[in-house]
Structure 1
Amino acid sequence: MKFTEALKTKRLYLDGAMGSLLQAKLENIGPVPEALTLTHPEIIQDIHRAYIEAGADIITTCTFGANGYKLNDTEYDQGAIITAAVKLAKELKPGYVALDIGPLGALIGSLGEISFDEAYHYFAQMVEIGAAAGADVLLIETVTDIYEMKAAVLAAKEHSNLPVIASMTFEENGRTLTGSDPQTVVTVLEALGVDAIGINCSTGPDKMMPVIDTLLKYASVPVVVQPNAGLPRVVDEKTFYDITSDEFAAYMAEIAQNGASVLGGCCGTTPEYIQKTIDATKVSPLPDLGNLRPEKQQTLVATGTRTVALGQDIRIIGECINPTTNVALKEELRRGELSLVKKLAIEQKKEGAHILDINLGLPDIDEKEMMLKAVEAVSNLVDLPLQIDSSDPEVIEAVLRQYNGKPIINSVNGEQSSMERILPIARKYGACVLGLTMDEKGIPEKAKDRLAIGKRIIHKAASMGIPKKNMLLDCLVLTASAQQEMVKETIKALELIHSELQVPTVLGISNISFGLPNRELMNRTFLTMAFTAGLNTPIMNPSDQGMMDVVTSFRGLWGYDERCIQYVTKYNSKSAAPVAKDKGEALPDLKKMVVKGMKEEAAAATEELLKTLDPMALVNDYLIPGLDIVGEEFETGEAFLPNLIFAAEAVQKSFEIIKSHLSAEEQIIKGRIVLATVSGDVHDIGKNILKVILENYGYEILDLGKDVETERIVATVKKENIRLVGLSALMTTTVKNMAETVSQLHERCPETAVMVGGAVLNAEYAADIGADYYGKDAKAGVNIAQSIFEK
């Protein structure tokens, strides 16, 4: 039976951990465990065989880290490893062999050192080799960044015909490392057309429950669950996990009952865990994937960290990033600059926009280049989904390929050529599409004819595999001064489309008043009329307070604002001064730029402020307080890792300028810290993030890199008289090396404090191995450094 058919007709079982079983069989598995497929194939097959005998349907290959980025500095041949790994699994004739594809081990895009295209290339290499070797399915797992997952899924789709399981890892706060919540993960991954969505690693099954429930609530594809065997602990210098196989199976039975389709295990699980899970869940009914609840049929758009639902409430599309009516923006784009684009994005979010339309259509600029730069810049500043407004399919596809999230394409119309140009792009990248109710004959005079065009667009989209939930329709507004009789027809068309097609309805409101005096009054009146006819997604200027007043009052009158609480909060004259919409709003400009992560602007502001202020005043009164604000928001869940990194990079730009004004004696060094990934571990993503943040708080970092022997770490600490060491480990197979390093540091460098961190660690484990501090994230690492150096 084909894997995709089996997904729909039976519960499937994945295998469990590979690393912990390898550790039990080999004293030293080395920094590249995947190479064991070549050097110790019999051990790999023994592990596969044990899982098959336990009842697993899907055997995952020993290829988790066999990507070009990780193998570049090693002696091993990627093709040989992957081919051998698939062959070893296939020889045992399991139900299905899944090519295991793990993360690259570095942040990508504007957050890190690898571009999106480079990440795509690394994943494509793995997919091509694995598919040629005979893998049945691609399992992309333990990914912490939805943007990296997008690169991997695109590579999988474009370089093979194999089914794709996309499995993410979530933090204790219910989000991925880079801030994606479970609903956003579902929104983005379903848009990309994956066959199943999963959660793996992270924690034990008990602490996964809230995330799993959200995945099940929104996903219309099968959900895969592979938890760890709880949390790791150390007893008598041996690592074990705190959830037994019986407890694990009991949790998995509940997860199966709730609707998960594919079950397996991750760190710490063994064939015994899988066998008991199968025994506990084999009687649980398979979820009815055809029974789509309302949550699964919503029209959703998303960034990497935020999802916006359309059609159930009023959602505003900000119209201001458009050079057509903005002379200053037009001139700036011609100079190749984006400062006004950034400013307009921030302002529109502050004023209440839910989505931002970006239109950079000028005949005398490179629209594709500018659109790519603008989308990246805006995405780094605000977490609002975007509407890509262009008539050029090449521009649209270039942006959709690079965009981190699920946007709207503006637009397609009922003309056959328009649909054939745009809809295939929307299908490929899973974008929502704004359909204009016009065709080669223009805008119909009658509402029923606009409805007919809307139906035609939706039908054509469906025939190309684009679900109705990814469609929006614009009934089109003509100016009242020239075509007064058409105003009523637009309102009638809204009523028909809203009631018959039940898709989100869109109108560009300000077109109604073109050529008339007191346009604001006309716009407000028309907006109110349109709302009562079924408009729910207006394109408008959110800075127009009169229009926003209409939105607020209508939501109260129409029941969107339950008990008019938001209306009362906004307009109650007895209430105190309004609460700032973000903590950076009332701050001095440079501090605000740090909070917003505006790198170039921060550098320019620093140059200007240095004309009147002391360099250290800038550091102490603007830069560090700005970082502290983002750090506090990170700790409370108001900001995410990208915000922290962008703020640090803004400070770094300022520091570069400040340092040029300081003498050698005045250079800012609060303390010196050694960072290293322990022996046997080639992952350094967490260490590198911590390095960036610490440096911008004024600490000098001695980064020893990855796979660092204990002796080198100890020698460096002694030679440099270091007071604080940070150790990182991501692999379960290398935490014992971390324990040894901590022990040696305490014995030979008793005055040095040791903080540890990494995905496989927790506070209890850190205490077990004798570490002085546990750094759960980069901000925690800063707090530890401050407690040591700034007492």
Structure 2
Amino acid sequence: MGTYLQKSGMAAGEHPETLNISQPALIQSIHLKYLKAGCDVLTTNTFGASPLKYPGDIAPAIEAAVANAKAAIDAYQRETGDASPKYIALDLGPIGQLLAPMGTLSFDDAYESYRRQAEIGIRAGCDLILIETQTDIYEAKAAVLASKASGDIPVICTMSFETGGRTFMGTDIESMATILEDLGVDALGLNCSFGPKEMLPLVEKLIGETSCPILIQPNAGLPKTIDNITVYDTKPLAFKEIMTKIRALGVTHIGGCCGTDEQYIAALKEIVILMPSPDRKPAPERFRIASYAKTVTIGGCAPVVIGERLNPTGKKRLKEALRQLDKDYILKEAISQIEQGAAVLDLNIGLPEIDEAALMPVLIREIQGIADIPIQIDSSDLNCLEAAAKYYNGKPMINSVSGKRESLDTILPIVKRYGACVLGLTLDDNGIPSAAEARFAIAEKIVREAVALGIPKRNIIIDCLALTASAQQSDVIETIKAIQLVKSRLGVPTVLGVSNVSFGLPYRQLLNQTFYIMAMTAGLDAAIINPGHQEMMSARDAFNVLNGWDEQSKDYIQTYGHITKRVETIRKEAVSGADAGDGSTGGLYDIILKGLKGQASETVEGLLKTMPPMAIVDEIIIPALNDVGSRFENGTIFLPQLIQSAETVQQAFERLKAALSAVEGASISKGKLVLATVHHDVHDIGKNIVKVILQNYGFEVVDLGKDVPPETILEACVQYDIQVVGLSALMTSTVTSMEKTIALIKKERPETIFIVGGAVLNPEYAQMIRADHYAKDARETAQIVQQLFR
């Protein structure tokens, strides 16, 4: 729609949705072209009709958009006599702001924005909702929940990916499929980003990750500008050829995004006629939990370790940290467990004096800001579970539901509503049965009740409960038998809190390790243990070799090939971060890598006792930032961790500024430059990220904001004597604004160097508009700026 409106004369910077009211005939004529080409679903001209970015009341624009689509369908049916059903999809695009903690937009505000759009569209008469071009799975979650709460119509969600197989915010195909499918969307898929050729390998991956209907809407290839007009490099015939392969994979719904005029839709219609019902093998049913960037499968693979240390039971130091809201201690515990091998973190904050419902979402956000592994929400507080499941970025596991009637009636609806997994405890109103068969009966009841409520069996895991050998010795072996029964008869995975078995007995580690091995042999899929206990981790590693999970013993050899070095490494890991603030360079470097903001200032204070301030910047901070940038570039960390590290450096710089001001001639500034999002472009997410990164490399940034006219940028260059300008554009239509800005300033100040970036830019575009450098992301921008100011 946007591409077509540009070709139809829409002014640069004009909001397309205003044309629903001012030029309804134009909108209807575009819809009619697509109907005649054979499309079955019209998407409304509402992509940007968000109350957070549309100028004015969104209701008239959305109502007019739906009315225009209806009018086009009526006109088409009168003209052609075609009575086949045609549908109207309310198009919901991204808000254009980063959600907290990376940005300032709250999840609730995002939810309310989408809820208002959805309610207006449903009242106006749309048939389904299409949430598209999402790059942040957290925002997509808000949009899906809001849409489903607004009315009983189908909801589809598609996301935009980079060529590396992740979205801009770091979500991979597996995590997207895991999260969206269990949020209850009626179809999911991919749109925008690039053409069908580049999208094909992503579709091949997606097909195996979900049984949900799949919608694929590529662009008409990659864009380029010729005579100020955006054109795409894939013609309808080539588009059809690749989309035929995509349809044959089992894709149920196909369409086009940027640049796909009615010729492309006509080509797609031919594919659907030839392949009305593509063959598709259902994806395997797997128990999967996910963060925004990583999915963990439990069952049918090597046993998974769930870190138990973020639970205050028996942990005096953690209790104090929770009471005092010592986030740094909690985050260090999380990082330590991940480094020691935990694939999932159990988070329990159950203290009588703590408001769990208020604190749990805060700690989840903090942990998800520095770590990408999934979290198990562990609480007996119903309000806490509800809040945590709502604000969790991904698909969490809720710990727990039991066979008690009240538990089933209150916990399972939360699991269903937020697309979570649930851990079922084999206990009921009569307590924990001794016999394995009785525990199995409770497990069977939990599974039956969950499935009846619409929770798929793949989202249920059973804890057969370890009892203490000191008090209930004969019941210990019943736990092992119960695991075998649940695995063989119910076919769901099992989990166990192993260390309960040894309470009250000496040398607990030996009992825990032996019981863990027994349970794994019986089929245990996951254990809630302390990953810092080497005996437990060694038992798991050895079991994986002997059971065939560790092919060719690769992981075992890597871990234990040099056993003495390994023992020393484990000791260091157990106290990782303990040197923070002691004046060692390793402390600050590690703090930056891990994004531990609260420790930065104190650690700098310690370093200043032995190092000059500029040495700290040059020898520690800049190398650490370079390391973070390299990890971001090679995909071992993602945007949230990159921003967290940058904000940690900001805290360090705040303390260093005071020290530098006391040193004659010392300056932390490595140069000054201007950043701006170009005229008529209202998106500034990418520009804001670049700003944070550059500031933390020691550069002064004059941030002119978004929708900045060329004259304003020129004035800033003159006022601040700027030689380097960074320009951002996220909309295809505003690349011309970027070109005009460069032309104006080059004429007045030919020595000015321009760095350009944004989703619609590429090196070819940059060259055509006479930019000096193209930067694909914040990391590359920092590298270019460092070279320019060297």
TM beyond 0.5: yes
Return the alpha-carbon distance in structure 2 between the equivalents of residues 679 and 200 of structure 1: 26
Shift in Å at residue 268 of structure 1? 1.4
Secondary structure in 1 matching 2:660: coil
Does structure 1 residue 68 correspond to structure 2 residue 51?
Answer: yes
Show CA shifts across 1:293-324 (max 9, x none): 32xx1100010010000012210111111111
Secondary structure in 2 matching 1:466: coil
Read off the aligned partner of 1:728 and give its amino acid letter: S
Superposition map of 1:154-553 within 5 A: 154-287=145-278, 291-294=281-284, 297-312=285-300, 313-553=302-542
Return the alpha-carbon distance in structure 2 between the equivalents of residues 376 and 649 of structure 1: 15
Read off the aligned partner of 2:21 and give its amino acid letter: L
Secondary structure in 1 matching 2:700: strand
**8 Å Cα contact 1:124/1:159 also seen in 2:** yes
Aligned to 1:598: 596
Return the alpha-carbon distance in structure 2 between the equivalents of residues 216 and 344 of structure 1: 37
* Deviation beyond 6 Å, 4+ runs, structure 1: 574-587
Return the alpha-carbon distance in structure 2 between the equivalents of residues 463 and 191 of structure 1: 16
Q: 1:129 aligns with which of 120, 125, 130?
A: 120
Shift in Å at residue 578 of structure 1? 9.2
Read off the aligned partner of 1:782 and give its amino acid letter: A
Read off the aligned partner of 1:191 and give its amino acid letter: D
Return the alpha-carbon distance in structure 2 between the equivalents of residues 709 and 246 of structure 1: 40
Show CA shifts across 1:275-295 (max 9, x none): 112123421252456x5232x
**8 Å Cα contact 1:98/1:137 also seen in 2:** yes
Return the alpha-carbon distance in structure 1 between the equivalents of residues 660 and 186 of structure 2: 57
CA 1:293–1:330 in structure 2 vs 1: closer, same or farther (change >3 Å)? same
Shift in Å at residue 152 of structure 1? 0.9
Return the alpha-carbon distance in structure 1 between the equivalents of residues 264 and 271 of structure 2: 11
Does structure 1 residue 643 correspond to structure 2 residue 649?
Answer: no
Secondary structure in 2 matching 1:683: coil
Show CA shifts across 1:639-684 (max 9, x none): 1111111111111111122213332963422112111112221111
CA 1:173–1:750 in structure 2 vs 1: closer, same or farther (change >3 Å)? same
Does structure 1 residue 89 correspond to structure 2 residue 80?
Answer: no
Shift in Å at residue 103 of structure 1? 0.7
Superposition map of 1:566-585 within 5 A: 566-573=555-562
Show CA shifts across 1:90-114 (max 9, x none): 1122711111111111110100021
Show CA shifts across 1:462-490 (max 9, x none): 01000110000011111111111111111
Q: Which piece of structure 1 moves more, 504-513 or 759-768?
A: 759-768
* Structure 2 unaligned spans of 5+: 75-85, 580-584
CA 1:381–1:652 in structure 2 vs 1: closer, same or farther (change >3 Å)? same
**8 Å Cα contact 1:54/1:271 also seen in 2:** yes
Aligned to 2:582: none
Q: Which piece of structure 1 moves more, 228-237 or 77-86?
A: 228-237
Secondary structure in 2 matching 1:434: strand
**8 Å Cα contact 2:100/2:106 also seen in 1:** yes
Percent identity reads 48
Read off the aligned partner of 1:373 and give its amino acid letter: V
Return the alpha-carbon distance in structure 1 between the equivalents of residues 534 and 44 of structure 2: 58
Q: 1:563 aligns with which of 540, 552, 571?
A: 552
CA RMSD of superposed structures (Å): 2.0
Show CA shifts across 1:762-787 (max 9, x none): 12222222221111111111111111
Show CA shifts across 1:61-113 (max 9, x none): 11111111112xx3x32111111111111112271111111111111010002
Q: Which piece of structure 1 moves more, 644-653 or 606-615?
A: 606-615
Shift in Å at residue 250 of structure 1? 1.0
Does structure 1 residue 674 correspond to structure 2 residue 674?
Answer: yes
**8 Å Cα contact 1:97/1:135 also seen in 2:** yes
Read off the aligned partner of 2:324 and give its amino acid letter: R
Read off the aligned partner of 2:95 and give its amino acid letter: L
**8 Å Cα contact 1:319/1:540 also seen in 2:** yes
Return the alpha-carbon distance in structure 2 between the equivalents of residues 728 and 617 of structure 1: 33
Return the alpha-carbon distance in structure 2 between the equivalents of residues 574 and 447 of structure 1: 40
Return the alpha-carbon distance in structure 1 between the equivalents of residues 126 and 669 of structure 2: 53
Secondary structure in 2 matching 1:239: strand
Show CA shifts across 1:391-433 (max 9, x none): 1111000011000011111111111111111000000001111
Show CA shifts across 1:346-372 (max 9, x none): 111111011111111111222222222
Return the alpha-carbon distance in structure 1 between the equivalents of residues 709 and 741 of structure 2: 8
Q: 1:112 aligns with which of 99, 103, 111?
A: 103
**8 Å Cα contact 1:182/1:215 also seen in 2:** yes
Aligned to 1:655: 653
Q: TM-score, normalised by structure 2?
A: 0.94
Show CA shifts across 1:438-496 (max 9, x none): 11111112111111111110000001000110000011111111111111111111111
Q: Which piece of structure 1 moves more, 210-219 or 468-477?
A: 210-219
Secondary structure in 2 matching 1:661: helix
Shift in Å at residue 718 of structure 1? 3.4
Return the alpha-carbon distance in structure 2 between the equivalents of residues 607 and 338 of structure 1: 20
Does structure 1 residue 49 correspond to structure 2 residue 32?
Answer: yes
CA 1:575–1:564 in structure 2 vs 1: closer, same or farther (change >3 Å)? farther
Shift in Å at residue 188 of structure 1? 0.8
